[in-house]
Amino acid sequence: MGMPVLAMSRLAWRNLWRNYRRTLIMLLAIALGVWAMIFMTSLLRGMVDDMVRQGVSALPGHVQVHASGYRDDPSVMNSLPSPDKALLDVLNSEQVSAWSSRIKVPAMISSEYDNAGVSLIGVDPEGELALGFKADDIIEGRFLSAADDNGIVVGEKLLHRLETRLGKRIVVMSQDPENAIAERGFRIVGVFSAELKNLEENMVYAGRDVVQKMLGMGTDISEIAVLDFDYREPEELTSIIRLVLPADHEVLSWLELDPYLGTMMRVMNGFVLVWMVVIFLALSFGLVNTLMMAIFERVREIGLMRALGMRPSAIVYQILVESVMLLVLGLIIGNLAAIGTIVLLKDGIDISAVAEGMEMMGASSMLYPVLQWADLILANTVVIVLGIITSLLPAWRASQYRPVEALSRT
């Protein structure tokens, strides 16, 4: 290109700081844009991850096994036999993080003052804790100690609605396989709090063996919930479980069980790219303006370089190097600012002022930014690639000056 690369780079760097105020303003704009790209993306990732985590916790499990027809009619008539050896081999393999079998049927719970419709969940406490129920969520009393524990654990919101308290007895009624009413008295041994408050009112936990006996189910169960090591890709584990089960069993991943969350996950990556491009398009006007102003101020200088033999391609290269230097400096500042902000907010952002709206979306009142390296790399790539493309116009414009015309300008 008629000039050593190192010398061209030095010249581009000096040209960049001729008007340092304009350069600093553009650097600030690029840094703010990069910060907005990365930080806002981390907030979106955090919100989607929280919605998925809350949704999976409510399901629970990344993969669920039911009898055909259970989801349309979640009663004891649509139950499963306990896992056989083939299924147990898969469930206890290295591909599975945790699993548990559960009873989940609609029921009516009554105190001496009020009653409410709930989902009665019979659990093995050890398996339920492995699936994601947090012992810290118990705000009064204790969680169930075993599958044959005679107590019941209710949500704080339901406790208030029933106007009862820890240690009091309540009555639970549901339907047995003969379509008769099955009922049993339970003593409240624990009260839990949930980030999604509707779960506190809709779910009660009892021992699996006790519920089976109450409903006359024998060893049958309602569902098997399975946790994969990576919730983002449950399809492989779903396929493996399907292979060892008969056709009358329904095996679904959380992507199928909750299409809304599945769609959120699928469109997230595309949305991130669109968001970054939109932010950069706003920045591109400032970048083009900065480079064009720098070129107009140096028309005579460019004409002189052309008269001394510098090729048009070298002029283009010099302008592009200036652009890349400006972009890289802005990226460094923006990346450091975004990472620093995310680190400072690692304990979460309290958005309890809009908690009800967030709960309707399936998210909690605390928002935790989630930084993924892929998003960081994507943001930097978008800025560099689109920045170079944007800079081609001023660079080409500079290379088209004729030496005589450029030198004659005042």
For residues 50 and 155, membership in a common domain is answered with no
Last residue in a domain, options 213, 237, 257: 257
| pLDDT band at residue 221 using 50, 70 and 90 as cut-offs | very high
For residues 341 and 286, membership in a common domain is answered with yes
Last residue in a domain, options 233, 257, 281: 257
Name the least confident of 146-155, 158-167, 308-317. Answer: 308-317
Using one digit for the tens of pLDDT, what is the confidence trace for 67-123? 988 988 998 999 999 999 999 999 999 889 999 999 999 999 999 899 999 999 999
pLDDT of residue 191: 96
Of 321, 398, 298, 312, the closest CA to residue 8 belongs to 321
For residues 197 and 236, membership in a common domain is answered with yes
Q: Which residue type is seen at 8?
A: M
DSSP string, 353-396: GGHHHHHHHT--SEE-----HHHHHHHHHHHHHHHHHHHHHHHH
Token pair 């002022």 is at which residue?
353
For residues 213 and 276, membership in a common domain is answered with no
The domain in which residue 186 lies consists of: 60-257
Using one digit for the tens of pLDDT, what is the confidence trace for 13-67? 887 787 788 788 888 888 888 898 888 888 888 887 777 777 776 668 889 999 9
Check if the beta carbon of residue 374 is closer than 8 Å to that of residue 276: no
Q: Which two tokens stand for residue 401?
A: 């000056």
Name the least confident of 112-121, 158-167, 272-281. Answer: 272-281
Whole-Å CA distances, 119 to 61, 70, 172, 202: 17, 14, 10, 6
Using one digit for the tens of pLDDT, what is the confidence trace for 43-54? 888 887 777 777
d(CA 173, CA 274): 52
For residues 233 and 283, membership in a common domain is answered with no
d(CA 372, CA 375): 5
Domain count, the chain: 2
DSSP string, 31-99: HHHHHHHHHHHHHHHHHHHHHHHHHHHHS-SSEEEEETTTTTS-SGGG-BPPP-HHHHHHHTSTTEEEE
For residues 190 and 335, membership in a common domain is answered with no
Last residue in a domain, options 257, 280, 313: 257
When the pLDDT of each residue in the chain is averaged and rounded to a whole number, the result is 84
d(CA 170, CA 254): 33
For residues 69 and 189, membership in a common domain is answered with yes
For residues 30 and 77, membership in a common domain is answered with no
For residues 347 and 398, membership in a common domain is answered with yes
> How many distinct helices (H) and strands (E) make up the chain?
15, 12
For residues 119 and 40, membership in a common domain is answered with no
Highest mean pLDDT among 69-73, 208-212, 242-246: 208-212
For residues 161 and 218, membership in a common domain is answered with yes
Number of neighbouring beta carbons within 10 Å of residue 337: 17
